[in-house]
Amino acid sequence: MSLENKTILVTGGAGFIGSNIIEYLLKKNNRITCLDNFTTGKRENIENFLSNPHFKFIEGDITNLNDCNLACQGVDIILHQAALGSVPRSIENPLKTNDININGFLNILWSAKKNNIKRIVYAASSSTYGDSKKLPKIENEIGSPLSPYAVTKYVNELYAGVFSNLYGLELIGLRYFNVFGRKQDPNGAYAAAIPKFIKAFINHDSPIIHGDGSQSRDFTYIDNVIQANELAATTTNKNALNQVYNVACGEQSFLNDLVEELKSLLSEFDSEIKNVEIQYGSERIGDIKHSLASIKKAEEFLQYQPSHNVKQGLKTAISWYWEYFSNKA
């Protein structure tokens, strides 16, 4: 079902995932409120929306209950993307991660209740699977968390269950698996792997893999995430509500193979890139070794079907980044 002609709050809307969701929803005649404080989001991600009469921006913080209440006024649906991401950042600053990811989420839930908003779709995380060795990852089989970030995202799921049972809210959690694509920030200490690797190759710098590169991930293109949010926001299947779902491609990509694929694709733009060497660094504390999602539950309950496999997503993302860095030069 298509999400059209609704008033939607997107928290974290100036971030990578949030701004892509907003761009998509504005094209479908929705009225969007974006709440962001630019802790990790970027003004450039929402600049093109500011002249749109159907877009309203509130510079505010989800840890501030008044900001959340203001953002929730007149809203039909909430797509909660705001969070302080990154496992390494959470290890360095667990207090801030907890405040934003748990207290901020609770503020959104409470504000939704006060403003009679029933449907909330929230960004959960594959980090919730923790030390579970089982592959593929199935929603009802998780391990112990390996980082403060993982703890916070699991607590979100617990709070969602409580608010559903106590207050009748309709909550759906989407456990994202290593999302990548246009607008993902390649800069900074906590940049995700794919944009970081792409930037290094374009600059003829050696990308650094943490560990020996034998670790694997289920990399997920941004358009698959947009699709999952739309399906979760519009589903009329009562059995689909108050559940969590893996959002992924269902493909296991090993980092060594991924980097070689990036090198090959980027070499089509610049032949010198094929000569760039790969470097290896120490493993990162709190990282899982392997990740692969089962997407059967999302397929069954939400009719989720990834529009892009990993290679299709990489090709599209690389074209965007090549243009992005060309314009920055």
Instruction: Report the catalytic residues.
Output: 149
The secondary structure element, H or E, covering residue 105 is helix 104-114
CB contact at 8 A, 3 and 28: yes
Instruction: Spell out the residues 6+ positions from residue 186 whose beta carbon is closer than 8 angstroms to its own.
Output: 195, 196, 198, 199, 321
313: left (phi over 0), alpha (psi -120 to 50) or beta: alpha
Task: Give the three-class secondary structure for 297.
Answer: helix
Max CA pair span of the chain: 60
Rounded Cα distance, 155 and 225, in Å: 21
Helix 65-72 with 104-114: angle, nearest 10 deg: 40
Helix 16-26 with 222-234: angle, nearest 10 deg: 60
- Looking at residue 137, what DSSP letter applies? B
In degrees rounded to 5, what are phi and psi of residue 101? Answer: -80, -30
Task: Indicate the pairing of strand 31-36 with strand 243-247.
Answer: unpaired
Give the number of other Cβ atoms within 10 Å of residue 40's Cβ.
20
